[in-house]
């Protein structure tokens, strides 16, 4: 573990992604919403995707990295800032020299060696708390220098030396913060469950001492579910966060993000009734939506069937949302699902709809609307057919009278089959007749004839068939040989 520290790996956002224009992101307020590595990653993402904010984002990022423990990253982005400044006709900013970088790397290596030596010495005394603190200190230093895999190993070793539930919770959130930086969302979900297992049950109406930690765990779970494309689960997670408990973790996300993630995920997955009950009437979530009035208006317009307004606001928000490091990979899917649900909801009350009128409601052309509706019909989302000549969408109606008669006849047929089987069983019981299989010249099962089911020793079983193979055989204590 000792030696020169490698530079922190940067997030690969894809070189083929188009640049984002017409944004309204305010980087001054942005700096107050986030902290730690989350702030740095978001600034890296903005600098890469948005040319208009590139210089401003790089300036903020370079200032942050200058006070950190990742000299290679500091030099890399300082050089990018100098290049961007020259291209923009501005005075370039001096970047750290190679000697300065090497000196800081050497200082980091010396600090790491000292921490390892102290930790090794403390382990000899076998004091659990001291050992746990040593692992935590090593993990935090490795995390700060960008060595995520070694940091993860140090944090997970704390579990064996935890002497209180709060130690387990601390260990879980340390692992979660590393897993988020590594984009390992399965690990995030696993350690969210470990953290939640330490929370004590709280009686209804009582104060919850773990309220803020619960909220943080719920937000982590929501991010993991969103990353795995479980948007319904993510919506339920974000909608369950209490506003008063959401302001203590800028190193993860802001309260504004909770409103955006929860609102969009709910619109993409919830039906109209759920949107009303779980979003609009959710008093706690309303406070998150107050921070994001655009999302609030989108939800209200969607519920009020003002689809043109809803989709127009979404389109205006799109550039800013494309600069969100967690939301950007899912924007296309979420927008498509919201539009599909709007189309289905618009058509559901009608038997027929003029597609020209419907296209006007969605601010699009008839041809493009027809293509969308065809996809929804093929997927089964809309039960309808299109009159391509008149451009009218007709709902597929079911003849309730015919369907009722068909179901009644089928029920009568099943009743007849069961009744005949029951009557046959009763008749065979009255005739003291049983059915068995013959195997290897011996009978399987118990006797079926006579009052006690006994067999005759002199003539074998009465009613036996001559076939030696496994064929049914009938026995009766009284009555005809092969039944009546």
Judge whether residue 181 has pLDDT over 50. Answer: yes
What pLDDT band is residue 379 in, cutting at 50, 70 and 90? confident
Judge whether residue 2 has pLDDT over 50. Answer: no
Q: Is 56 exposed, middle or buried (0-12, 13-18, 19+ CB in 10 A)?
A: middle
Query: What interhelical angle do 255-269 and 211-227 show, nearest 10?
Result: 50
| pLDDT (0 to 100) of residue 177 | 95
C-alpha torsion 365→366→372→377, nearest 10: 170
Element holding 404 (H helix, E strand): helix 400-430
| pLDDT (0 to 100) of residue 16 | 54
Q: Is 159 exposed, middle or buried (0-12, 13-18, 19+ CB in 10 A)?
A: middle
| pLDDT (0 to 100) of residue 4 | 33
| pLDDT (0 to 100) of residue 460 | 41
* Mean of per-residue pLDDT scores for the chain: 84
What pLDDT band is residue 22 in, cutting at 50, 70 and 90? confident
What pLDDT band is residue 310 in, cutting at 50, 70 and 90? very high
| pLDDT (0 to 100) of residue 126 | 85
What pLDDT band is residue 247 in, cutting at 50, 70 and 90? low
| pLDDT (0 to 100) of residue 479 | 43
| pLDDT (0 to 100) of residue 203 | 64
Gap between the Cα atoms of 398 and 405, Å rounded: 13
Calculate mean pLDDT across residues 387-403: 80
In this structure, of 39-48, 83-92, 276-285, the range with the lowest mean pLDDT score is 83-92
| pLDDT (0 to 100) of residue 434 | 76
Give the chain's domains with CATH numbers.
Answer: 229-348 (no CATH), 350-395 (1.10.10.10), 432-484 (no CATH)
pLDDT in tens, 280-303: 999 999 999 999 999 999 999 999
Calculate mean pLDDT across residues 455-467: 41
Residue pair 61/28 in contact (Cβ under 8 Å)? The answer is no
| pLDDT (0 to 100) of residue 417 | 94
pLDDT above 70 coverage of the chain, percent: 84
| pLDDT (0 to 100) of residue 407 | 86
CB atoms within 10 A of CB 451: 8
CA atoms within 13 A on the CB side of 480: 4
Judge whether residue 482 has pLDDT over 60. Answer: no
| pLDDT (0 to 100) of residue 130 | 92
Judge whether residue 398 has pLDDT over 60. Answer: no
| pLDDT (0 to 100) of residue 373 | 92
Buried b (16+ CB within 10 A) or exposed e, 168-190: bbbbbbbbbbbbbbeebbebbbe
């Amino acid at each position: 573990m000792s030696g020169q520290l490698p530079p922190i790996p940067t997030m690969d956002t894809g070189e083929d992604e188009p640049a984002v224009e017409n944004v309204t992101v305010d980087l001054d307020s942005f700096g107050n919403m986030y902290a730690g590595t989350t702030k740095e990653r978001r600034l890296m993402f903005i600098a890469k995707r948005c040319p208009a904010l590139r210089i401003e984002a790089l300036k903020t990022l370079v200032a942050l990295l200058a006070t950190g423990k990742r000299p290679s990253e500091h030099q890399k982005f300082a050089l990018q800032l100098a290049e961007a400044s020259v291209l923009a006709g501005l005075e370039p900013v001096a970047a750290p020299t190679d000697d300065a970088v090497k000196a800081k790397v050497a200082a980091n290596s010396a600090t790491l060696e000292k921490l390892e030596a102290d930790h090794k010495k403390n382990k000899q005394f076998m004091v659990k708390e001291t050992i746990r603190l040593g692992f935590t200190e090593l993990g935090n230093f490795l995390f700060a220098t960008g060595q995520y895999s070694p940091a993860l190993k140090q944090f997970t070793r704390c579990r064996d030396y935890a002497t209180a539930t709060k130690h387990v919770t601390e260990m879980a959130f340390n692992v979660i913060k590393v897993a988020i930086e590594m984009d390992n969302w399965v690990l995030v979900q696993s350690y969210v469950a470990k953290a939640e297992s330490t929370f004590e049950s709280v009686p209804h109406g009582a104060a919850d001492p773990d309220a803020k930690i619960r909220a943080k765990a719920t937000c982590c779970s929501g991010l993991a579910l969103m990353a795995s494309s479980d948007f319904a689960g993510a919506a339920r997670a974000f909608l369950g966060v209490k506003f008063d408990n959401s302001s203590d973790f800028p190193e993860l996300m802001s309260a504004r993000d909770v409103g955006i993630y929860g609102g969009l995920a709910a619109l993409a997955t919830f039906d109209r009734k759920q949107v009303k009950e779980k979003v609009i009437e959710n008093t706690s979530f309303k406070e998150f939506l107050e921070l994001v009035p655009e999302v609030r208006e989108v939800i209200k317009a969607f519920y009020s069937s003002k689809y043109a307004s809803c989709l127009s606001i979404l389109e205006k928000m799109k550039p800013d949302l494309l600069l969100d490091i967690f939301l950007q990979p899912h924007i296309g899917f979420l927008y498509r699902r919201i539009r599909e649900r709007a189309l289905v909801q618009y058509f559901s009350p009608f038997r027929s709809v003029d597609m020209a009128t419907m296209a006007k409601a969605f601010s699009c052309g008839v041809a493009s609307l027809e293509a969308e509706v065809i996809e929804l019909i093929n997927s089964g989302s809309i039960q309808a057919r299109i009159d391509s000549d008149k451009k009218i969408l007709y709902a597929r109606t079911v003849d309730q009278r015919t369907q009722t008669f068909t179901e009644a006849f089928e029920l009568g047929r099943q009743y007849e089959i069961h009744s005949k089987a029951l009557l046959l069983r009763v008749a065979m019981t009255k005739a003291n007749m049983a059915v068995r299989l013959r195997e290897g010249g011996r009978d399987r099962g118990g006797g079926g004839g006579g009052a006690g089911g006994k067999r005759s020793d002199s003539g074998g079983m009465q009613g036996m068939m001559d076939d030696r193979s496994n064929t049914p055989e009938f026995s009766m204590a009284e009555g005809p040989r092969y039944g009546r």
